[in-house]
């Protein structure tokens, strides 16, 4: 008797991995064609999957990832959380466009309790392209989702044989196949050329991982990101407040420093009840609490980038608007 293969649900949402360009050398403007290969056609190109797992497709509308809205994100989060709760499913793989993959993977990490593996993958070259990377990425994502070592690690990102934690994964190049990085943490491990899954980091949890249940949420509060630059005034902060933002993420310079004019506007926003979270526009490093920020009730993001900070703050605001209760969710 042979052992039964693990059952992996494959959630397809579109993106470069299924995109079809004008010809095999259309590796950059393929999105203009608005053409995609059906999931069944993609799976037919990877017969090796049959030796790894029992695949059960879950097809979603094909959307560019930069066209996804918060309602789409909530819907996807609910779906993946529900799938991980089904007893006959060993893991979930989500194919997604790389433009906002880091944000969506992070959001799913916040709403899916760590347990069964959830792996997000995509491609940097379209399905029609010369040396398309999507087929191997998909095969390796299934290998990872079927691996016992992936259990309990939360949502993982897999591209170019490399495993990243959803919390740390970020797109660091526009078109390169090795576009994703794991920040200061680096990759958690790799899927080797023979299919072996190897982890180099121990399993580690953080407070916000799986902390939110999206099933009862009808929407998310508005949270805006205001990016600082030399000579920036408070106009963007004030516009955000007028637009009804419940929270503002300040992507400050250096270790989290907005300009003096932005700082004054952020303090006025906090006094008006808007929760302000201080982040940095710098690619690596922590934003640490400063004593002078405490009277104004600012939250600090730790080492999360502004885009992920926005999503965590939005979810946190569905529970509380007290900065003292929100801050522990950002602490690692």
Band (pLDDT 50/70/90 cuts) for residue 64 is: confident
Instruction: Answer whether residue 305 shows pLDDT above 50.
Output: yes
Half-sphere exposure of 159 (CA within 13 A, CB side): 34
Percentage of the residues of the chain whose pLDDT score is greater than 90: 84
What pLDDT does 202 receive? 81
Instruction: Answer whether residue 116 shows pLDDT above 50.
Output: yes
- Residue among 237, 213, 242 nearest 227 (CA): 237
How confident is the model over 161-177, as a mean pLDDT? Answer: 95
Percentage of the residues of the chain whose pLDDT score is greater than 70: 97
Choice among 37-46, 92-101, 137-146, 290-299 with the minimum mean pLDDT: 290-299
* 177 neighbors 124 (Cβ within 8 angstroms): yes
Active-site residue, 253 included: no
What pLDDT does 292 receive? 59
Which domains are delineated in the chain?
Answer: 7-199 (3.40.50.1170), 220-330 (3.40.50.40)
How confident is the model over 196-220, as a mean pLDDT? Answer: 90
Instruction: Answer whether residue 97 shows pLDDT above 50.
Output: yes
How confident is the model over 33-51, as a mean pLDDT? Answer: 92
What pLDDT does 1 receive? 42
| Tokens found for residue 7 | 């059952």
Determine the Cα–Cα distance for residues 45 and 133; give it in Å rounded to an integer.
Answer: 12
How confident is the model over 232-261, as a mean pLDDT? Answer: 97
Instruction: Answer whether residue 155 shows pLDDT above 70.
Output: yes
How confident is the model over 316-325, as a mean pLDDT? Answer: 94
Instruction: Answer whether residue 316 shows pLDDT above 50.
Output: yes
- The answer to whether the predicted template modeling score (pTM) of the entire model surpasses 0.75 is yes
Sheet holding 223-227, edge to edge: 223-227, 247-252, 275-280, 299-300
How confident is the model over 7-30, as a mean pLDDT? Answer: 94
Mean pLDDT, rounded, of the chain: 93
* 73 neighbors 97 (Cβ within 8 angstroms): no
For residue 181, report the phi and psi dihedrals to the nearest 5 degrees. Answer: -125, 160
Could you say which of 13, 16, 98, 300 is catalytic? 16
């Amino acid at each position: 008797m042979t052992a039964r293969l693990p059952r992996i649900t494959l959630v397809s949402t579109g993106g470069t991995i299924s995109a079809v360009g004008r010809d095999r050398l259309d590796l950059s403007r393929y999105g203009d064609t608005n053409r995609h290969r059906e999931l069944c056609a993609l799976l037919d190109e990877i017969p090796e999957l049959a030796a790894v797992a029992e695949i059960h497709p879950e097809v979603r509308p094909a959307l560019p990832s930069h066209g996804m809205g918060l309602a789409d994100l909530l819907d996807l989060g609910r779906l993946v959380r529900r799938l991980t709760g089904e007893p006959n499913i060993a893991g979930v793989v989500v194919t997604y466009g790389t433009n906002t993959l880091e944000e969506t993977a992070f959001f799913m990490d916040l709403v899916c309790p760590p347990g069964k593996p959830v792996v997000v993958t995509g491609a940097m070259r379209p399905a029609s392209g010369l040396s398309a990377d999507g087929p191997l990425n998909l095969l390796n994502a299934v290998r990872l989702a079927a691996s016992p070592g992936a259990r309990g690690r939360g949502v993982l990102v897999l591209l170019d044989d490399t495993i990243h934690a959803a919390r740390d994964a970020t797109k660091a190049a526009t078109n390169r196949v090795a576009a994703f990085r794991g920040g200061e943490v680096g990759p958690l491990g790799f899927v080797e050329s023979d299919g072996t899954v190897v982890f180099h980091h121990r399993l580690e949890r953080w407070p916000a991982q799986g902390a939110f249940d999206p099933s009862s949420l009808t929407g998310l509060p508005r949270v805006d990101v205001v990016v600082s630059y030399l000579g920036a005034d408070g106009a963007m902060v004030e516009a955000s407040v007028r637009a009804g933002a419940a929270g503002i993420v300040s992507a400050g310079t250096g270790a989290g420093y907005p300009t003096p004019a932005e700082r004054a506007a952020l303090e006025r926003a906090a006094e008006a009840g808007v929760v302000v979270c201080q982040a940095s526009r710098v690619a690596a490093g922590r934003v640490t609490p400063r004593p002078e920020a405490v009277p104004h009730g600012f939250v600090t993001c730790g080492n999360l980038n502004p885009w992920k900070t926005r999503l965590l703050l939005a979810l946190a605001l569905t529970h509380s608007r007290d900065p003292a209760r929100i801050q522990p969710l950002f602490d690692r």
